[in-house]
Amino acid sequence: MRQKIFPRMAQWAGIAMVAGVLSACAPHRPAPAPYQGGAYPTQAPVAAEYGRVTNIEMLQGQQRGASTGAGAILGAVVGGVLGNQVGKGSGRAAATAVGVVGGAVAGNAIEERNNAGYSPVYRISIQLDRGGYRAYDVSSVGDLRVGDRVRTINGQISRY
């Protein structure tokens, strides 16, 4: 009787570990704003700000490595197949579970490394007409140059 219980427990433990690893790879979305009676909350309109570009500088690139979870799933499948080839009985079930978890971790790491790269980031400094400064970090300056008159609305900069 004990020989039949242990492989089943090892199998369920492996399934629980795989489910935990895969749920950690899922993208998390923030909860929507709660309904506050009468109307849903909306963003207040933002007024345009006008000014002049005073400085454009290139910052060190930001890393853009991301994981979609596909690497973890593929790694888990390959690890599980390879782990299933080792041993027999309860040892095979344990090796399969370890292979699934190890493969998921390795597959996720490989996917992140392959998606990693650096993109340039520019900081545009604007002196506002009404006083004060704003600085925006953007991936491209487009046709903006120091001294250009600009308008900003919701963080979007355009020549004016």
Question: Using CA atoms, how far apart are residues 105 and 24, in angstroms rounded to an integer?
Answer: 11
Look at residue 24 in the predicted model and tell me its pLDDT: 59
Residue range of the domain that includes 99: 1-28+66-116
Q: Are residues 71 and 95 in the same domain?
A: yes
Is this prediction's pTM over 0.75?
no
Look at residue 127 in the predicted model and tell me its pLDDT: 95
Cβ pair 50, 149 in contact under 8 A:
yes
On whether residue 158 sits in a domain, the answer given is yes
CATH number of the domain where residue 142 is located = 2.40.50
**Helix ranges restricted to H, the chain:** 2-25, 70-84, 90-115
Residue stretches of the chain with pLDDT short of 70: 1-10, 12-14, 16-46, 60-66, 116-118
On whether residue 34 sits in a domain, the answer given is no
Half-sphere CA count of 11, side-chain side, radius 13 A: 8
On whether residue 131 sits in a domain, the answer given is yes
